[in-house]
Amino acid sequence: MAYSFTWIDSHAHPHDEKYFEEGKENSDEIVYQASKEDLGIIAVGTDFSTSRKVVELSLRASGCWAAVGIHPQNIIHQNDQVTLSEEFSETDFMTLLQSDRVVAIGECGLDFYRLPEDLSLREVVKKMQIELFLAHARFAQDVELPLVIHCRDAYDVLIELVRIRQLEIPHGAVVHCFTGTASQAKELTDIGFHLGFSGIVTYPSATNVREAVAIIPDEKLLIETDAPYLAPQMHRGEINYSTYLPLIGESIARIRGVDIASLAHLTTRNAAQLFRIPLE
């Protein structure tokens, strides 16, 4: 089956509890409203439970696909102890991969934003995050799917893992919600990674993100909402929706000096190629 979309939101969480706090919405309705606006969604899990939810959602909604993985923030540090709230089990995730709606492994990666003050604990957390990320990378290679990478305050470490350790990611990857520098963006795209840009690009303080948007190659550019988080500036502080994706697109189109239709075509094509979604 071939699909036709104006936009693909390359990273969103339509299953997230933020949507349901007042009991007014459900995941199917969120995806349906997006499809009415000619918009497809890659729904991303952050642990086994949410990964199962996005697979189930993708099976019900033709405009939705799933990514399955364990977020690095599942490594928890409390009372001088570091624990992994959920082990990465290839066997468990293989059960989800029985569905052809699973198009990526992740969200996985590195998050060094909130580390323990204790230096020894900090190093333990970093090491565990790296090991968890490498497990995802090996699994993605085995099952021949791309990676969805979360990276916060750890871009140089990610680059080092790929360049120095020669980590193989043969089926592609996207560093979602990119917030690094233009030089880091160049290094990552030179490696072959796609970069996903979110509503952060519209924030007045995000000069570095706009500089990165301006310089990356056309074929490595993806656009995302990370909904329900990171609503664009005109909705900042509100719950985010995939239907806000064109607002992010308008900002990126201005930065790159292209018209909005061309940007939509480019980023939709890039997402479809990375996630192997057949387009008409």
Answer whether residue 23 shows pLDDT above 70: no
pLDDT for position 86: 79
| Confidence class for position 117, pLDDT limits 50, 70, 90 | confident
Give 186-227 pLDDT, tens digit per residue.
Answer: 999 999 999 999 999 999 999 999 999 999 999 999 999 999
Could you tell me if residue 280 is inside a domain? no
Mean pLDDT computed over 152-163: 94
Q: Can you give the CATH number for the domain in which 256 is found? A: 3.20.20.140
Alpha helix positions (H), 5-113: 27-36, 48-60, 90-96
Any domain includes 265: yes
**Residue 1 located in a structural domain:** no
Q: Identify the domain containing residue 158 by its residue range.
A: 7-275
User: What is the pLDDT, as a whole number, of residue 278?
Assistant: 94
User: Is residue 78 one of the residues assigned to a domain?
Assistant: yes
DSSP line for 219-255: GGEEE---TTS---GGGTTSPP-GGGHHHHHHHHHHH
Find the angle CA(16)-CA(198)-CA(23) to the nearest 5 degrees. 20
Could you tell me if 85 and 47 are in contact, meaning their C-beta atoms sit under 8 angstroms apart? yes
Distance CA 238, CA 230 (A): 9
State the pTM of this model: 0.95
pLDDT at 25: 66
Stretch 267-278: mean pLDDT, rounded?
98
Query: Higher-confidence residue: 267 or 27?
Result: 267
Quote the DSSP letter at residue 16.
-
Grade residue 76 by pLDDT with cuts at 50, 70 and 90. confident
Domain count, the chain: 1
If you average pLDDT over every residue of the chain, what do you get? 94
Q: Residue 66 forms beta bridges with which residues?
A: 43, 102
